[in-house]
């Protein structure tokens, strides 16, 4: 349609969190005109919620740390399902990415000799997390934001316009990635403020949209986390992998109800906080799995000694990887040993003086005081698992972050899959954003520069995207007439609540075949109803409308999660099957790949019974021998099959 405004850019970055901004900086510094488009205001991305730190083996606190150790920890945490090349690149490049932040003005907490301080975290062998109190994500996002501003100031001096080569479209949403001749040609977007549609034409699009947590009821994620990038990739024809792996952070707030799910940082445990059940017992000692037996303390005394003398003692089991701790809490609550509001107790008050708590965990102190009226220096917190992170995501080339099958499409950060395997270690997320954000920006810029003949966006696709985006306004009038869509318009808020409840109850932390089948049924029903999601009012800043559009994405990714979870008949990392409770070595090198079942057809015409997602299995490439050599043979035996090892 002629009235849709078009703008030409070289690289479009969707999302302005850590990965998106880092990608944009890289693409702009590579000389590409770069547009960043984000659903919220610039600087509000979900990255600000990250508390603990950025994992990077700088070795500032323990000199024995290096990238190989970090790689090893990452693979162990992900139960060896990680895309090993990504894990390798991540471990190698993370220190440079952190150091570079300092040259942009970041101020991390310091060691005595003036270097970046590093803290302990679950699953990391040495103190490794660069941090700023417990607001590291804020520091990261602010630093990247300010670097972007400084690049814009350069452009202003050179071209007289801040936006000349790097522009942030804030409070805008992408609803479709457009393709021409099989390659990316741009994005279809709307602006929240005006409801106006526009098209950003570009040969390269970087998806950096984060995760999918808003499909679950109890989540630490913000409203933006509706799986947009996952869905955009699927709709553009790119596959997703590992979608069955959803991380439930062990410690979210459980009370009051309105803040249920909000994160309690892992640093609470890294700095000495302990988990207790209603009997006052430190129950984590009962939940150390065999694969970690040698690495963790077997007694409270040893665990307590570790905080001061990590060389000669093993770490307490409160610092096991997140999946283990989350399951343990879940079991304790189910066994009736939970706290009054259905969690367990996380206590720092008896472990550290009040002043130390306030200094080391200021925002936790603040958060509990303000939101729950609990003084964590005087009483324990109540915590329970909360949906936190999706390990699955767009299938990408490990070196270039290019999405499989769609030239010009790139993905970085949480929306990309593979890096974290079946379970992500705390602290590896922020470093992931920086390492692969930079790579995505770099290779997207390289790709964009290599495209000589840019094809304009297809007007038919633009029309279709516009019609799709406007459907909620006509839901009642139009569809009531047709026999296929009977009934009145659906309230998108109700649909969203039902979706969240279904996913939480049926595809949550512990999964069963029957429940997941029921989840798929419910999703099919919701999909039909979502087509009738209708809204009142006009297009300007209309939250009901935006939610209706986000529902499409949430339903798509939820189906991916449910289908993949049903298929994988083992328990590994962020995927726990009640009916298949053990880890099966034969599943280790299998990726479950989700693709759109009917990429050509009109999505809404699909038969609800069929579903929209086609699932396939794919074998992962064998781990490079020198990387395997970093592990003891005994350990590898727990993960790899005999035949893999004999290769």
- Shortest approach of other proteins to residue 34 CB, angstroms? 17
Task: Report the residue from 96, 304, 468, 513 that binds other proteins according to the rule CB under 8 A.
Answer: 96
**Gyration radius (Cα) of the chain, Å:** 24
- Shortest approach of other proteins to residue 600 CB, angstroms? 34
β-partners of residue 172 are 191
Using CB under 8 A as the binding rule, whether residue 113 contacts other proteins is answered as yes
**Closest by CA position to 558, among listed 483, 607, 500:** 500
DSSP tag of 3: T
Task: Report the residue from 286, 294, 309, 370 that binds other proteins according to the rule CB under 8 A.
Answer: 370
Task: Report the residue from 2, 3, 114, 643 that binds other proteins according to the rule CB under 8 A.
Answer: 114
Nearer to other proteins by Cβ, of 191 and 244: the residue is 191
Using CB under 8 A as the binding rule, whether residue 336 contacts other proteins is answered as no
Which residue in this structure is represented by tokens 């609470």?
268
Which pair of tokens denotes residue 558? 């939820």
Tell me the window of 359-367, 391-399, 422-430, 434-442 that interacts with other proteins (CB under 8 A).
359-367
10 Å Cβ neighbour count for 578? 12
Using CB under 8 A as the binding rule, whether residue 102 contacts other proteins is answered as yes
Nearer to other proteins by Cβ, of 8 and 630: the residue is 8
Tell me the window of 146-154, 209-217, 409-417, 554-562 that interacts with other proteins (CB under 8 A).
146-154
Using CB under 8 A as the binding rule, whether residue 109 contacts other proteins is answered as yes
DSSP tag of 577: B
Residues from 31 through 50 that contact other proteins (CB under 8 A): 40-44, 46, 48-49
C-alpha to C-alpha distances, 319 to 133, 307, 597, nearest whole angstrom: 19, 11, 41
- Contact yes or no for 118/61 (Cβ under 8 A): yes
Which residue in this structure is represented by tokens 């602006």?
191
Residues from 532 through 571 that contact other proteins (CB under 8 A): 535-538, 540-545
How far apart CA 318 and CA 313 sit, in angstroms, is 14
Which pair of tokens denotes residue 396? 């990408």
- Among this protein's residues, is 322 annotated catalytic? yes
Tell me the window of 130-138, 288-296, 320-328, 498-506 that interacts with other proteins (CB under 8 A).
130-138
- Contact yes or no for 230/560 (Cβ under 8 A): yes
What are the phi and psi torsion angles at 448 (to 5°)? -60, -40
Using CB under 8 A as the binding rule, whether residue 110 contacts other proteins is answered as yes
Task: Report the residue from 85, 115, 196, 358 that binds other proteins according to the rule CB under 8 A.
Answer: 115
How far apart CA 303 and CA 314 sit, in angstroms, is 6
**Closest by CA position to 471, among listed 524, 534, 525, 529:** 534
Name the active-site residue from 97, 128, 165, 322.
322
How far apart CA 597 and CA 374 sit, in angstroms, is 49
Using CB under 8 A as the binding rule, whether residue 5 contacts other proteins is answered as no
Q: Concatenated DSSP letters for 34-88?
A: EEEEESS-TT-SGGGG--S-EE----SS-TT--HHHHHHHHHHHTTT-S-HHHHH
How far apart CA 292 and CA 297 sit, in angstroms, is 10
- Shortest approach of other proteins to residue 172 CB, angstroms? 11
Nearer to other proteins by Cβ, of 115 and 614: the residue is 115
- Shortest approach of other proteins to residue 602 CB, angstroms? 27
Contacts (Cβ under 8 Å, ≥6 apart) of 37 = 12, 13, 14, 15, 16, 168, 169, 172, 173, 174, 187, 189, 200
Which residue in this structure is represented by tokens 């901004």?
21
Binding mask of the shown chain, residues 246 to 265, with x at each position contacting other proteins by CB under 8 A: ---------xxxxx--xx--
Q: How many chain residues touch other proteins (CB under 8 A)?
A: 71
- Shortest approach of other proteins to residue 308 CB, angstroms? 20
Residues from 215 through 234 that contact other proteins (CB under 8 A): 222-224
How far apart CA 81 and CA 19 sit, in angstroms, is 22
- Shortest approach of other proteins to residue 193 CB, angstroms? 6
- Shortest approach of other proteins to residue 261 CB, angstroms? 9
How far apart CA 371 and CA 366 sit, in angstroms, is 8
Nearer to other proteins by Cβ, of 139 and 395: the residue is 139
Task: Report the residue from 308, 373, 619, 634 that binds other proteins according to the rule CB under 8 A.
Answer: 373
Task: Report the residue from 104, 285, 292, 307 that binds other proteins according to the rule CB under 8 A.
Answer: 104
Using CB under 8 A as the binding rule, whether residue 153 contacts other proteins is answered as yes
- Shortest approach of other proteins to residue 103 CB, angstroms? 5
Using CB under 8 A as the binding rule, whether residue 164 contacts other proteins is answered as no
How far apart CA 62 and CA 121 sit, in angstroms, is 14
Helix (H) or strand (E) holding 13: strand 11-14
Nearer to other proteins by Cβ, of 364 and 592: the residue is 364
Residues from 465 through 494 that contact other proteins (CB under 8 A): 491-494
Residue positions annotated with a catalytic role: 322
């Amino acid at each position: 349609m002629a009235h849709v405004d078009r703008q030409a850019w070289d690289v479009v970055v969707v999302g302005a969190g850590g990965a998106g901004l880092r990608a944009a900086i890289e693409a702009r510094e590579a000389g590409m005109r770069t547009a960043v488009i984000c659903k919220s205001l610039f600087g509000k991305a979900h990255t600000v919620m990250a508390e603990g730190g950025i994992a990077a083996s700088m070795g500032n606190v323990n000199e024995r740390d290096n990238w190989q150790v970090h790689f090893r920890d990452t693979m162990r945490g992900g139960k060896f399902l990680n895309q090993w090349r990504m894990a390798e690149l991540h471990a190698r490049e993370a220190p440079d990415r952190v150091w570079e932040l300092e040259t942009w003005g970041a101020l991390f907490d310091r060691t005595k000799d003036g270097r970046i301080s590093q803290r302990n975290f679950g699953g990391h062998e040495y103190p490794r997390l660069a941090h700023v109190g417990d607001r590291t994500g804020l520091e990261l996002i602010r630093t990247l934001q300010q670097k972007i501003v400084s690049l814009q100031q350069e452009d202003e001096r050179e071209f007289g316009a801040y936006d000349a080569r790097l522009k942030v479209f804030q409070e805008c949403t992408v609803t479709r990635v457009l393709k021409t001749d099989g390659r990316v040609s741009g994005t279809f977007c709307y602006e929240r403020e005006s409801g106006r549609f526009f098209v950003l034409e570009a040969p390269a699009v970087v998806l950096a949209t984060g995760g999918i947590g808003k499909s679950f009821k109890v989540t630490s994620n913000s409203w933006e986390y509706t799986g947009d990038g996952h869905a955009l990739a699927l709709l553009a024809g790119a596959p997703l992998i590992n979608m069955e792996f959803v991380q439930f952070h062990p410690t979210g707030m459980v009370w009051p109800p309105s803040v249920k799910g909000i994160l309690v940082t892992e640093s609470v445990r890294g700095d000495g906080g302990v988990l207790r059940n209603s009997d006052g017992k430190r129950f984590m000692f009962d939940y150390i799995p065999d694969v970690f037996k040698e690495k963790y303390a077997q007694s409270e005394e040893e665990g307590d000694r570790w905080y001061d003398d990590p060389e000669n003692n093993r770490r307490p089991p409160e610092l096991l990887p997140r999946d283990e701790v989350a399951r343990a809490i879940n079991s304790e609550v189910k066994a009736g040993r939970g706290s009054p509001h259905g969690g367990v107790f996380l206590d720092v008050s008896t472990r550290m003086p009040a002043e130390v708590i306030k200094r080391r965990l200021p925002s936790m102190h603040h958060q509990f005081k303000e939101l729950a009226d609990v003084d964590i220096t005087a009483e324990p917190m109540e915590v329970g698992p909360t949906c936190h992170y999706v390990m699955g995501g767009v299938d990408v080339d490990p070196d270039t972050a290019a999405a499989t099958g769609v030239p010009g499409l790139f993905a970085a950060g949480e929306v990309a899959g593979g890096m974290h395997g079946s379970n992500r270690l705390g602290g590896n997320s922020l470093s992931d954003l920086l390492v692969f954000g930079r790579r995505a920006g770099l290779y997207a810029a390289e790709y964009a520069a290599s495209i000589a003949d840019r094809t304009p966006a297809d007007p038919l696709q633009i029309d279709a995207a516009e019609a799709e985006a406007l459907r909620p306004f006509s839901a009642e009038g139009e569809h009531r007439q047709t026999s296929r869509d009977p009934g009145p318009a659906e309230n998108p808020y109700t649909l969203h609540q039902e979706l969240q409840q279904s996913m939480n109850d049926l595809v949550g932390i512990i999964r069963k075949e029957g429940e997941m089948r029921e989840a798929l049924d419910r999703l099919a029903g919701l999909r039909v109803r979502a087509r009738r999601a209708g809204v009142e009012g006009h297009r300007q800043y209309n939250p009901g409308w935006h939610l209706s559009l986000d529902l499409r994405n949430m339903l798509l990714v939820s189906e991916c999660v449910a289908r993949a979870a049903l298929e994988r008949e083992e328990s590994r990392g962020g995927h726990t099957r009640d009916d298949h409770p053990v880890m099966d070595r034969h599943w280790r090198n299998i990726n479950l790949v989700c693709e759109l079942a009917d990429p050509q057809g009109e999505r809404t015409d699909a038969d609800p019974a069929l579903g929209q997602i086609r699932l396939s299995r794919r074998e992962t490439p064998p781990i490079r021998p020198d990387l395997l050599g970093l592990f003891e043979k005994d350990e590898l035996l727990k993960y790899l099959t005999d035949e893999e090892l004999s290769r």
